[in-house]
Amino acid sequence: MIALKDTGIRSAVLLVLLTLWSGTSHSQHPGRPAMDEEVSKQEAIYQSPGEKLPEGYVVDRSLLAYASILSAEFDRSLASLGPTDRWLDIGAGAGRAILDYYTPRYDSMHVEGRERRGKKAQAVAISIEDRRTPHWHKAAASLEADKVRYLFGKRLRQYSQEELGKFQLITDVIGGFSYTQNLSLFMENVLGYLELNGSFYTLLLDVLPDNGTIRTHYPETLFLTEIAGADGSDVRVCAWLKSIACVEVTCESRTESKRPIELYRIRKVCNSVAVPALSSLQFVAGTPPQRRFQLGGPSPAPPGQANTTR
Ligand SMILES: C[S@@+](CC[C@H](N)C(=O)[O-])C[C@H]1O[C@@H](n2cnc3c(N)ncnc32)[C@H](O)[C@@H]1O
């Protein structure tokens, strides 16, 4: 806990994140984005070989990086999971954060709760593409059977409750939450996999934060995730999350950078979850992609797309 809570480390890792983020690559913004073409470009990013990863497509963040990037509460939530609890990491990349959790070093940094944790929670990593490394195979093989699972080849929405089960803790560090074309369906799925009182920790880069600032405070920002109301006005992602029934949401904007980042903790407090629908207005491939949604109406499948691309 000591090291992960250290604000110096948190800021340092955030700085690394920001450096990578400023190098984020985007295809040229077409006047009328040809959605199919953007989806193919995005697929090529996912499938890019390890030695040719596009700028900004980071797949090997450590658990220390997760703890520094996500809300500080994440570190405590993970450390307090017991051996019968479960953690899902959506968009896990190489799954490095999960492997770090099972190391003796993790326990030496989180002395509190060590007894309770025992052999630790079960963790499930999901990624569209298989980014497992020799290190993953070796480390996973040294753990108790079924302690960790790595699933690939599908998006979150393509799994069933029987395949994944339920989780006390779900994380997403620049994974599906930043990349999906259908944010409301994505949130519905996340909340469906969350146990009552379980928490989902995530963040967005280049998003209009809920801290009262207006768009013109960020003259150089290309907003990556935007929501428009029915009248075209800005709807903050935080406000949209807070409008979901049966969740308690904390939004934390990070001010270390002139560019806006917002951290989210979403706790499921009852079972009748209802997520206000968003439809996709724009999707431009990138790391992460640039997405614009509109509040209201059913979320239509993008033209010419099967559901598998979301
Ligand atoms: C930039 S990498 C981040 C990897 C990891 N979280 C890290 O920080 O090192 C994006 C990951 O999100 C995954 N991803 C994107 N959209 C997804 C979705 N809808 N469902 C599951 N995984 C998704 C990608 O396959 C990839 O593993």
Q: Note the pLDDT tens digit of each residue in 111-169.
A: 988 888 988 999 999 999 999 999 999 999 999 999 999 999 999 999 999 999 999 99
Atom of ligand 1 nearest to the CA of 58: 1
3-state secondary structure of 218: coil
91 lines ligand 1 (CB under 6 A): yes
Separation CA 49–CA 45 (nearest Å): 9
Residues 261-272 have a mean pLDDT of 97
- Amino acid identity of residue 135, one-letter, is H
CA of residue 231 to ligand 1 center, whole Å: 32
Query: Is 128 touching ligand 1 by the criterion CB < 6 Å?
Result: yes
User: Among 73, 171, 72, 162, which Cα is nearest to 121's?
Assistant: 171
Whole-number pLDDT of residue 19: 42
Between the CA atoms of 295, 300, 303 and 305, what dihedral angle is there, to the nearest 10 degrees?
Answer: 120
Mean pLDDT of the chain: 88
Residue 281: pLDDT above 80? Answer: yes
User: Is the minimum distance from the CB of 286 to ligand 1 under 6 angstroms?
Assistant: no
Confidence of residue 274 (pLDDT cuts 50, 70, 90): very high
Q: How far is the CA of 199 from the centre of ligand 1 (A)?
A: 19
Ligand 1 pocket residue status of 73, Cβ below 6 Å: no
Bridge partners, 70 (sequence order): none
CB distance 173 to 202 below 8 Å: yes
- Which of 16, 18, 46 has the most ligand 1 atoms within 8 A of CB, as the residue to mutate? 46
Q: How many whole angstroms separate alpha carbon 202 and alpha carbon 207?
A: 13
pLDDT band at 254 (very low <50, low <70, confident <90, very high): confident
Lowest mean pLDDT among 5-9, 52-56, 189-193: 5-9
Closest ligand 1 atom number to CA of residue 156: 20
- Which of the two residues, 22 and 120, has the higher pLDDT score? 120
pLDDT of residue 54: 96
Could you tell me if the CB of 61 is within 6 A of ligand 1? yes
CA distances from 293 to 24, 95, 124, 212, 302 (A): 21, 29, 29, 21, 12
pLDDT in the model for residue 199: 98
Average pLDDT over residues 34-43: 93
Measured in Å, residue 112 CA sits from the centre of ligand 1 at: 31
Asked whether residue 32 carries a pLDDT value surpassing 70, the answer given is no
pLDDT given for residue 219 in this prediction: 85
Q: Is residue 57 over pLDDT 50?
A: yes
Which atom of ligand 1 is the closest one to the Cα of 173?
Answer: 6
Verify whether ligand 1 is closer than 6 Å to residue 190 (CB atom): no
pLDDT-based confidence at residue 256 (cuts at 50, 70, 90): low
